[in-house]
Amino acid sequence: MEQKGNKNKLIHLQNQILQCRSCQNVFGFEPHPIVQGNHNAKIMQISQAPSKSVHETGRPFNDASGRRLRGEWYRISDEDFYNPDHFYIVSMAHCYPGKAPGGGDRRPPKICSEQWLLREMELVDNDIYIIIGGIAAEFFFPREKITALAFEDKQINGKPAYVLPHPSPLNMKWFKDYPEFTEKRIFEVQKEVHRILGIS
pLDDT in tens, 23-80: 888 888 889 999 999 999 999 999 999 988 898 998 999 999 999 999 999 999 999 9
Would the pLDDT of 2 be above 70?
no
Least confident residue range of 3-7, 21-25, 190-194: 3-7
* Mean pLDDT to the nearest integer, 171-178: 96
Is the backbone of residue 198 left (phi > 0), alpha (psi -120 to 50) or beta?
left
Q: What is the dihedral of CA 55, 61, 64, 70, to 10 degrees?
A: -170
pLDDT in tens, 96-127: 998 888 877 889 888 999 999 999 999 999 99
- The CATH number of the domain holding residue 80 is 3.40.470.10
pLDDT band at 197 (very low <50, low <70, confident <90, very high): very high
Would the pLDDT of 200 be above 90?
no
Q: What is the pLDDT of residue 175?
A: 97
pLDDT band at 190 (very low <50, low <70, confident <90, very high): very high
Would the pLDDT of 1 be above 80?
no
Higher pLDDT residue, 63 or 191?
Answer: 191
- The number of domains in the chain is 1
Would the pLDDT of 18 be above 90?
yes
Q: Is 129 helix (H, G, I), strand (E, B) or coil?
A: strand
Instruction: Name 181's Cβ contacts closer than 8 Å, sequence gap at least 6.
Output: 150, 151, 165, 175
Q: What is the pLDDT of residue 27?
A: 86
How many angstroms separate the Cα of 123 from the Cα of each of 4, 12, 14, 31, 109?
A: 11, 11, 11, 24, 22
Q: Which uninterrupted H or E stretch holds 67?
A: helix 64-67
DSSP 8-state assignment for residue 66:
H
Segments forming the whole domain that contains residue 124: 1-197
pLDDT band at 158 (very low <50, low <70, confident <90, very high): very high
Q: What is the percent of the chain where pLDDT is above 90?
A: 80
Residue 184's Cβ-side half-sphere holds a number of Cα atoms within 13 Å equal to 6
